[in-house]
Protein backbone atom coordinates (compact mmCIF):
# COMPACT_ATOMS: atom_id res chain seq x y z
CA UNK A 1 0.00 0.00 0.00
CA UNK A 2 1.27 3.46 -0.92
CA UNK A 3 1.08 6.10 1.81
CA UNK A 4 1.78 9.81 1.58
CA UNK A 5 4.11 12.18 3.40
CA UNK A 6 2.77 14.23 6.31
CA UNK A 7 3.55 17.58 7.83
CA UNK A 8 1.95 19.80 10.46
CA UNK A 9 -1.27 21.57 9.56
CA UNK A 10 -0.49 24.56 11.80
CA UNK A 11 2.48 26.06 13.64
CA UNK A 12 2.72 25.63 17.39
CA UNK A 13 5.21 26.79 20.00
CA UNK A 14 6.43 26.05 23.50
CA UNK A 15 9.03 27.24 26.00
CA UNK A 16 11.25 25.05 28.13
CA UNK A 17 14.69 24.51 29.62
CA UNK A 18 17.61 22.84 27.88
CA UNK A 19 18.56 19.89 30.09
CA UNK A 20 22.28 20.29 29.44
CA UNK A 21 22.64 24.04 28.91
CA UNK A 22 20.17 25.04 31.62
CA UNK A 23 18.98 27.90 29.40
CA UNK A 24 15.37 28.76 28.60
CA UNK A 25 14.58 27.98 24.95
CA UNK A 26 11.60 29.01 22.82
CA UNK A 27 10.68 26.49 20.14
CA UNK A 28 8.14 26.55 17.29
CA UNK A 29 7.16 23.57 15.17
CA UNK A 30 6.12 24.64 11.66
CA UNK A 31 4.81 22.95 8.50
CA UNK A 32 7.28 22.20 5.70
CA UNK A 33 6.98 21.27 2.02
CA UNK A 34 7.14 17.66 0.87
CA UNK A 35 10.64 16.15 0.73
CA UNK A 36 12.01 18.78 3.14
CA UNK A 37 12.68 16.35 5.96
CA UNK A 38 13.10 17.61 9.53
CA UNK A 39 15.07 20.86 9.58
CA UNK A 40 16.13 22.65 12.77
CA UNK A 41 16.43 26.44 12.35
CA UNK A 42 18.41 28.51 14.84
CA UNK A 43 16.87 32.00 15.09
CA UNK A 44 19.77 33.28 17.21
CA UNK A 45 22.35 33.00 14.40
CA UNK A 46 22.72 34.52 10.94
CA UNK A 47 19.95 33.35 8.60
CA UNK A 48 22.37 32.06 5.96
CA UNK A 49 23.78 29.46 8.39
CA UNK A 50 20.73 28.86 10.57
CA UNK A 51 19.42 25.57 9.14
CA UNK A 52 20.59 22.14 10.33
CA UNK A 53 19.13 19.04 8.68
CA UNK A 54 18.27 16.20 11.04
CA UNK A 55 20.24 13.36 9.48
CA UNK A 56 22.68 10.69 10.65
CA UNK A 57 25.44 12.36 8.59
CA UNK A 58 24.97 15.69 10.40
CA UNK A 59 25.39 14.17 13.87
CA UNK A 60 28.37 15.90 15.50
CA UNK A 61 28.32 14.84 19.17
CA UNK A 62 26.86 11.88 21.03
CA UNK A 63 27.69 12.45 24.71
CA UNK A 64 24.51 12.05 26.80
CA UNK A 65 22.36 13.22 23.86
CA UNK A 66 22.28 13.45 20.06
CA UNK A 67 23.63 16.72 18.64
CA UNK A 68 23.58 17.74 14.97
CA UNK A 69 25.58 20.48 13.24
CA UNK A 70 25.82 22.07 9.79
CA UNK A 71 28.96 22.88 7.83
CA UNK A 72 29.16 26.30 9.49
CA UNK A 73 29.37 24.64 12.91
CA UNK A 74 25.89 25.69 14.04
CA UNK A 75 24.63 23.02 16.45
CA UNK A 76 21.35 21.79 17.88
CA UNK A 77 21.53 19.42 20.85
CA UNK A 78 19.17 16.94 22.51
CA UNK A 79 17.04 16.32 19.43
CA UNK A 80 16.27 12.65 20.11
CA UNK A 81 12.98 12.97 22.03
CA UNK A 82 11.48 15.35 19.47
CA UNK A 83 12.71 13.15 16.60
CA UNK A 84 11.06 10.17 18.31
CA UNK A 85 7.80 12.10 18.51
CA UNK A 86 8.01 12.97 14.80
CA UNK A 87 8.68 9.31 14.01
CA UNK A 88 5.87 8.05 16.21
CA UNK A 89 3.46 10.59 14.70
CA UNK A 90 4.47 9.85 11.11
CA UNK A 91 5.71 13.39 10.47
CA UNK A 92 8.05 13.45 7.46
CA UNK A 93 8.53 17.20 7.04
CA UNK A 94 8.77 20.01 9.59
CA UNK A 95 10.74 23.14 10.45
CA UNK A 96 11.80 23.39 14.09
CA UNK A 97 12.62 26.99 15.03
CA UNK A 98 14.73 27.57 18.15
CA UNK A 99 16.22 30.66 19.76
CA UNK A 100 19.00 28.61 21.34
CA UNK A 101 21.29 25.63 20.76
CA UNK A 102 19.21 22.92 22.44
CA UNK A 103 15.71 21.47 22.18
CA UNK A 104 13.83 22.04 25.44
CA UNK A 105 13.70 18.88 27.53
CA UNK A 106 10.12 19.48 28.77
CA UNK A 107 9.37 16.61 31.22
CA UNK A 108 12.19 14.37 29.95
CA UNK A 109 9.95 12.32 27.68
CA UNK A 110 8.42 12.69 24.21
CA UNK A 111 4.84 13.08 25.47
CA UNK A 112 4.82 16.92 25.46
CA UNK A 113 5.99 16.86 21.82
CA UNK A 114 3.25 14.38 20.90
CA UNK A 115 0.78 16.79 22.53
CA UNK A 116 2.12 19.71 20.49
CA UNK A 117 1.91 17.72 17.25
CA UNK A 118 -1.66 16.67 18.01
CA UNK A 119 -2.64 20.26 18.82
CA UNK A 120 -1.07 21.49 15.58
CA UNK A 121 -2.78 18.64 13.69
CA UNK A 122 -1.26 16.91 10.68
CA UNK A 123 -1.96 17.05 6.96
CA UNK A 124 -1.21 14.57 4.20
CA UNK A 125 0.91 15.81 1.31
CA UNK A 126 0.87 14.89 -2.37
CA UNK A 127 4.24 13.09 -2.45
CA UNK A 128 4.47 9.36 -1.60
CA UNK A 129 6.16 8.40 1.63
CA UNK A 130 9.46 6.62 1.12
CA UNK A 131 10.61 3.84 3.47
CA UNK A 132 13.96 2.15 4.01
CA UNK A 133 13.60 -1.64 3.97
CA UNK A 134 16.16 -3.83 5.75
CA UNK A 135 17.39 -6.59 3.41
CA UNK A 136 19.98 -8.28 5.60
CA UNK A 137 21.11 -8.19 9.21
CA UNK A 138 23.67 -5.57 10.23
CA UNK A 139 25.20 -5.49 13.71
CA UNK A 140 27.61 -3.16 15.48
CA UNK A 141 29.20 -3.63 18.90
CA UNK A 142 31.04 -1.72 21.56
CA UNK A 143 32.32 -4.14 24.17
CA UNK A 144 29.29 -6.22 25.15
CA UNK A 145 26.85 -3.55 23.96
CA UNK A 146 25.20 -4.20 20.61
CA UNK A 147 22.79 -2.64 18.13
CA UNK A 148 21.24 -4.71 15.34
CA UNK A 149 18.95 -4.13 12.38
CA UNK A 150 17.42 -7.21 10.78
CA UNK A 151 14.75 -7.82 8.12
CA UNK A 152 11.08 -7.75 9.07
CA UNK A 153 7.70 -6.73 7.74
CA UNK A 154 7.01 -4.18 10.50
CA UNK A 155 8.73 -1.22 12.11
CA UNK A 156 9.73 -2.80 15.41
CA UNK A 157 11.99 -1.81 18.30
CA UNK A 158 13.32 -4.09 21.03
CA UNK A 159 15.68 -3.05 23.79
CA UNK A 160 17.50 -4.62 26.72
CA UNK A 161 19.35 -2.97 29.57
CA UNK A 162 21.32 -4.39 32.49
CA UNK A 163 22.40 -2.20 35.42
CA UNK A 164 24.14 -3.14 38.65
CA UNK A 165 21.66 -0.85 40.39
CA UNK A 166 18.97 -3.22 41.68
CA UNK A 167 16.21 -0.65 41.20
CA UNK A 168 16.80 -0.95 37.44
CA UNK A 169 18.45 -4.35 37.04
CA UNK A 170 17.72 -6.23 33.82
CA UNK A 171 14.75 -5.03 31.77
CA UNK A 172 13.65 -5.55 28.20
CA UNK A 173 10.78 -4.57 25.96
CA UNK A 174 9.62 -5.02 22.38
CA UNK A 175 7.13 -3.01 20.34
CA UNK A 176 5.70 -3.01 16.83
CA UNK A 177 5.48 0.69 15.95
CA UNK A 178 2.02 0.83 14.41
CA UNK A 179 -0.60 3.55 14.91
CA UNK A 180 -0.80 4.59 18.55
CA UNK A 181 1.93 2.32 19.89
CA UNK A 182 4.54 5.02 20.34
CA UNK A 183 2.14 7.41 22.04
CA UNK A 184 0.57 4.78 24.28
CA UNK A 185 3.58 2.65 25.19
CA UNK A 186 6.76 4.73 24.88
CA UNK A 187 6.15 8.48 24.68
CA UNK A 188 5.73 9.07 28.45
CA UNK A 189 8.94 7.26 29.47
CA UNK A 190 11.39 9.79 30.95
CA UNK A 191 15.14 10.05 30.80
CA UNK A 192 16.91 9.00 33.99
CA UNK A 193 20.10 9.58 35.92
CA UNK A 194 21.84 9.05 39.22
CA UNK A 195 22.20 11.71 41.91
CA UNK A 196 25.75 10.50 42.57
CA UNK A 197 26.78 11.42 38.99
CA UNK A 198 25.15 14.86 38.86
CA UNK A 199 28.11 16.93 40.02
CA UNK A 200 30.46 15.17 37.59
CA UNK A 201 28.05 15.80 34.70
CA UNK A 202 27.76 19.47 35.61
CA UNK A 203 31.56 19.77 35.69
CA UNK A 204 31.50 18.47 32.09
CA UNK A 205 29.00 21.17 31.10
CA UNK A 206 26.12 18.69 31.06
CA UNK A 207 22.83 18.34 32.95
CA UNK A 208 22.85 22.01 34.08
CA UNK A 209 19.09 22.09 33.61
CA UNK A 210 18.39 18.62 34.98
CA UNK A 211 15.84 18.35 37.79
CA UNK A 212 13.12 16.14 39.20
CA UNK A 213 10.76 17.94 36.80
CA UNK A 214 12.50 16.57 33.70
CA UNK A 215 14.19 13.29 34.67
CA UNK A 216 13.89 10.25 36.88
CA UNK A 217 16.58 10.70 39.53
CA UNK A 218 17.84 7.77 41.59
CA UNK A 219 19.71 8.00 44.86
CA UNK A 220 21.03 4.52 45.36
CA UNK A 221 18.00 2.34 44.72
CA UNK A 222 15.48 5.05 45.64
CA UNK A 223 13.50 6.98 43.03
CA UNK A 224 13.47 10.58 44.27
CA UNK A 225 10.57 11.74 42.09
CA UNK A 226 7.44 12.17 44.20
CA UNK A 227 5.18 10.63 41.54
CA UNK A 228 7.38 7.53 41.24
CA UNK A 229 7.63 5.68 37.93
CA UNK A 230 5.15 5.96 35.06
CA UNK A 231 5.81 2.36 34.02
CA UNK A 232 7.37 -0.47 36.00
CA UNK A 233 9.98 -0.70 33.24
CA UNK A 234 10.20 3.02 32.44
CA UNK A 235 14.00 2.87 32.25
CA UNK A 236 14.16 0.46 29.31
CA UNK A 237 11.18 2.08 27.63
CA UNK A 238 13.04 5.38 27.59
CA UNK A 239 16.07 3.75 25.99
CA UNK A 240 13.73 2.36 23.32
CA UNK A 241 12.28 5.88 22.89
CA UNK A 242 15.79 7.24 22.36
CA UNK A 243 16.45 4.56 19.75
CA UNK A 244 13.26 5.49 17.85
CA UNK A 245 14.51 9.09 17.67
CA UNK A 246 18.05 8.15 16.71
CA UNK A 247 16.89 5.75 13.98
CA UNK A 248 14.66 8.42 12.43
CA UNK A 249 17.87 10.22 11.47
CA UNK A 250 18.10 7.70 8.62
CA UNK A 251 15.92 10.18 6.73
CA UNK A 252 12.96 7.79 6.47
CA UNK A 253 11.17 5.18 8.54
CA UNK A 254 13.06 1.88 8.63
CA UNK A 255 11.01 -1.24 7.94
CA UNK A 256 12.69 -3.99 9.92
CA UNK A 257 13.61 -5.03 13.43
CA UNK A 258 15.92 -3.03 15.69
CA UNK A 259 17.39 -4.70 18.76
CA UNK A 260 19.56 -2.75 21.17
CA UNK A 261 21.46 -4.30 24.05
CA UNK A 262 23.00 -1.70 26.39
CA UNK A 263 23.10 0.56 23.34
CA UNK A 264 23.12 4.35 23.44
CA UNK A 265 23.17 7.32 21.07
CA UNK A 266 26.71 6.65 19.84
CA UNK A 267 26.12 2.99 19.01
CA UNK A 268 22.73 3.75 17.44
CA UNK A 269 24.41 6.25 15.13
CA UNK A 270 27.25 3.84 14.39
CA UNK A 271 24.63 1.28 13.35
CA UNK A 272 23.02 3.71 10.90
CA UNK A 273 26.41 4.43 9.31
CA UNK A 274 27.22 0.72 8.98
CA UNK A 275 23.75 -0.13 7.69
CA UNK A 276 23.34 2.67 5.16
CA UNK A 277 26.91 2.35 3.84
CA UNK A 278 26.18 -1.27 2.83
CA UNK A 279 24.28 -1.12 -0.45
CA UNK A 280 23.26 -4.78 -0.06
CA UNK A 281 21.67 -4.19 3.34
CA UNK A 282 18.78 -1.94 2.36
CA UNK A 283 16.64 -0.43 -0.38
CA UNK A 284 14.04 2.30 -0.68
CA UNK A 285 10.43 1.24 -1.06
CA UNK A 286 7.08 3.00 -1.38
CA UNK A 287 5.27 0.00 0.14
CA UNK A 288 4.15 0.74 3.68
CA UNK A 289 4.98 -1.85 6.37
CA UNK A 290 2.62 -4.72 7.09
CA UNK A 291 0.41 -4.01 10.07
CA UNK A 292 0.40 -6.65 12.79
CA UNK A 293 -3.01 -8.08 13.70
CA UNK A 294 -2.79 -7.75 17.48
CA UNK A 295 -3.51 -4.43 19.19
CA UNK A 296 -1.08 -2.48 21.36
CA UNK A 297 2.63 -2.90 21.95
CA UNK A 298 3.98 -6.27 22.95
CA UNK A 299 5.82 -6.36 26.29
CA UNK A 300 8.23 -8.94 27.64
CA UNK A 301 7.94 -9.12 31.44
CA UNK A 302 11.19 -10.11 33.12
CA UNK A 303 10.18 -13.74 33.64
CA UNK A 304 9.59 -14.05 29.87
CA UNK A 305 12.55 -11.97 28.76
CA UNK A 306 14.25 -12.68 25.49
CA UNK A 307 17.74 -14.11 25.83
CA UNK A 308 20.23 -11.23 26.14
CA UNK A 309 22.91 -10.67 23.57
CA UNK A 310 26.24 -11.80 24.95
CA UNK A 311 29.75 -10.84 23.98
The catalytic residue among 81, 238, 265, 273 is 265
40 plus 95 within the same structural domain? yes
Q: What pLDDT, in 10s, does the model give residues 117-176?
A: 999 999 999 999 999 999 999 999 999 999 999 999 999 999 999 999 999 999 999 999
288 and 143 co-located in one domain: yes
At a CB cut-off of 8 Å and minimum separation 6, what does 151 contact?
A: 133, 134, 135, 136, 137, 256, 257
122 and 135 fall within a common domain: no
Q: Are residues 72 and 112 in the same domain?
A: yes
Residue 107 lies in a domain: yes
Q: What angle do CA 148, 107, 254 make, to 5 degrees?
A: 25
In-domain check, residue 299: yes
Question: Residue 215: inside a domain, yes or no?
Answer: yes
What Cα–Cα distance (Å) separates residue 149 from each residue in 133, 248, 275?
A: 10, 13, 8
- The domain boundary, picked from 62, 92, 127, lies at 127
Q: What stretches of the chain show up as alpha helix (H) in DSSP?
A: 80-89, 111-120, 181, 198-203, 234-247, 265-276
Q: Tell me: the pLDDT tens digits for 201-228?
A: 666 666 667 788 889 999 999 999 999 9
The boundaries of the domain holding residue 38 are 4-127
* Of 73, 103, 127, the domain-final residue: 127
Residue 84 three-state SS: helix
265 is catalytic: yes
Cα torsion 42, 46, 47, 50 to 10°: value is -30
User: Do 154 and 274 fall within a single domain?
Assistant: yes
How many structural domains does the chain have? 2
Amino acid sequence: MITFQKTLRNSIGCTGVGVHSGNVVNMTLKPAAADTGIVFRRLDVASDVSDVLAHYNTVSELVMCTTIANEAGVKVATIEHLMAAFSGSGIDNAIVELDGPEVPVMDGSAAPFIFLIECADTVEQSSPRKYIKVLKEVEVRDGNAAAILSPGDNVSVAFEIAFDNKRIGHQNCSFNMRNGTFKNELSRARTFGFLSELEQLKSMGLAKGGSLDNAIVLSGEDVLNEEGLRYQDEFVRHKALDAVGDLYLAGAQIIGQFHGYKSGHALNNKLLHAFLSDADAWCYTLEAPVRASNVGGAYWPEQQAAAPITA
